[in-house]
Amino acid sequence: MPNPDKIERVGELKTRIEGSDALLLAEYRGLTVAEITALRRSLAEDGTRLSVIKNTLMRRAAADAKVQEIEPLLEGPTAVAFVSGDPVAAAKRVVEAAKRFPTLVLKGGYMDGHVLSADEAKALADLESREAMLSKIAGMLKAEMSRAAGMFASAQSKLLSLLEAYREKVPGGSAAAEEVAPAVEDGPEAEGGSGSGANGTEGDSGQTQEEE
């Protein structure tokens, strides 16, 4: 009959696997309790939880969480880093710890539905952290916005210069337009005046016909 405590433990591990952004697995053979505690505290600063887990329990939890691909990594004393946040930052912490504690060996990991070999997991540590990448992207966007603003200001300045040059070449353009306007206005009035008699006569005739 399955041990209730083990069943509960497997359920907890399954939940932690499913809630993690990545997993990093390391062999901790030879590390003292103090060294493991120091590594655990270091990883916790980036939101990563390090646990020493029996391989049998981790295998069951991995199968329940549909990540049984990591089973080959569950050999020998295993410490699992459940990463919540930036996997790059967590990998940097583990690699740095391995330099201080040579007996700590990064065996691999799991991220984005793929198993990572030891070399691939170590390669994460060579990448820039998420914060650094976001900072670079923000800097690039700011530079692009500044350049766009400069281009707009330059285009506006050129347009104003062209308009000014055009006005200087055609100094009488506005005066000519003002002289033409009265002539256009006088035309309809003259025509209206000469045709008023005929309109008036027709109007009277029309009115008389209506009264009859």
Helix-strand-coil split of the chain, %, nearest 5: 65, 15, 20
Residue-level pLDDT at 199: 45
Q: What is the pLDDT of residues 140-191, one digit of tens each?
A: 566 667 666 667 677 777 777 777 776 777 655 545 444 544 544 454 444 4
As a whole number, the mean pLDDT across the chain is 77
Token pair recorded at residue 162: 């062209």
Is there a contact between 97 and 27 (Cβ–Cβ < 8 Å)?
A: no
pTM of whole model > 0.85?
A: no
Class of the CATH-defined domain 4-127: alpha beta
Domain-wise residue ranges, the chain: 4-127, 170-212
- Contacts of residue 140, defined as CB under 8 A and 6 or more positions apart, other chains included, come to none
